[in-house]
Chains A and B, each alone.
Chain A
Amino acid sequence: MTALLEVKDLRVSFFIPAGEVQAVRGISFTLEKGESLAIVGESGCGKSVTVQSIMRLLQSPPAKIAGGSILFQGKDLLKLSEREMEKVRGNEIGMIFQDPMTSLNPTMKIGKQIAEGVRMHRKVSTEDAKRRALEMENLVGLPHPERRYDQYPHEFSGGMRQRTMIAMSLACEPKLVIADEPTTALDVTIQAQILELMKDIQKRLDTAIILITHDLGIVADLCHRVVVMYAGKIIESGSIEDIFYNPQHPYTWGLLKSVPSIHSQEKRRLVPIPGQPPDLIKPPAGCAFMPRCKYAMKVCVEHDPADFQINNGHKAACWLLHPAAAAIKEAAELEARA
């Protein structure tokens, strides 16, 4: 069986006056039907560029997809014409952004916006589109759907706008929904509403999700698998159990240790990751994490680490996993995960 989505060796650069920003430097991952995948990593590591490449939303220039393929249900999205791509966007793949206001039309009534989305992809009557829009408003828990139908985005709160975005993204029953930090702009209690909604919908509709977030709590709650990105590459990927209970890469160790837990009894100093990510105009030749890595070895300076397979579905790119470094790895792991 083929995967729903297969990204292979994707490379994306931005050509700006200062040089070539190598935003995505050869990433590969797959997503099965109904699966929920998180992409995590710090600001600028290439998460949004990755999903915008899948949706073919990047402006070119300055962006250029320098290589790779994106197979969605077997067809390469990178080879589609813009017209063909329009049939995929919002229809087969839905998208939810961080700031719903930028993706909603401020001058069009909410209900109409949802209905128009349906009519763009389905040959249905105006009445049927409206019925579908109301159905979607109901599904995402917008109170008083009939009344909401005739309101404008500015009359909605942040949470209600995000519900609207979700309604629009799901109206055509896409196989895949991509959500780029869908709750980052929301308060925690509203975030909780939206997360419950997304969980519930995923269960009911069996939609696959790619979720970008920097909140590891959301990952643990909502996703099956995780991809950890650093400086334009995937440095570790696996099931949430693999990543949370058996992390292998020093950057993943660092991410997990730098956040305090609400459940911890005693107070301990946080363990920050020193320094900051590298400049992607001149990405380092070796491991990009090297300048911040406590366990860096000679080999890390010049040679980009290969992918090492931990188990079926769990991979990490770090020289510590090379059999020759087994002893160092063991000591490092003991310390890092203490």
Chain B
Amino acid sequence: MTHAAATVDQMRPPYPAERGLDVYNTKLGMWVFLASEVMFFAALIGTYIILRFGAPGEWAKPGIVLNIKITAFNTFLLICSSVSMVKAYAAIQDGDPKKMRFWLLLTILGGATFVGIQVYEYIHLIEHGFVPSGVREGSELAELVAKGQLPAATMGLYGSTFFTMTGFHGFHVTCGVISMTYLYLTKALPGKYTKQSYGGIETVGLYWHFVDLVWIILFTIVYLI
């Protein structure tokens, strides 16, 4: 074995290795990372469930506090961006970098718009008096609470969980948009992705679908029920 293998192993993969999962490192790394993300969101969502079921009295009414229509549109947008991500991936698998760039750009735009709308939503909510600690005194919502249309006892919990969960989701979307933009500028534009090599697209795609999935869960439990 002294000289035969010398050309194969150059301190850089692929060098001969025992068979692992037959998944390249970055992709495997992303799967592993997403496992930890699952636990992170499980902690936040679990907290929400526990607080909601143990709440002193009736839970806040999302329909009154939030603007569900605009967020429903936002959800649709995020789902679309997942679809365009799949398209980008399919395009590069077919060896069509131009089409891939188009779909990737569309995904980035979708993600960025989502974040933009979320920021708008936050500003709007805070103006109306919905804040992480509950309801701001002297605001529009405070009046509704005073009239008994919203439960005073649980608004604080709703604010805490709503802003924490959606905020951290928004942070994840932002990270996704930044990474995709980075890959777009440094890899996709210079034409480094080819039919043979598209690991970055696949890996960031995994992340993107995960973020999308988390949003669908959050939208359902925070906005709808």
Chain B associates with chain A: no
Q: What residues make up the interface of A, taking CB atoms closer than 8 Å to B?
A: none
Q: What residues make up the interface of B, taking CB atoms closer than 8 Å to A?
A: none
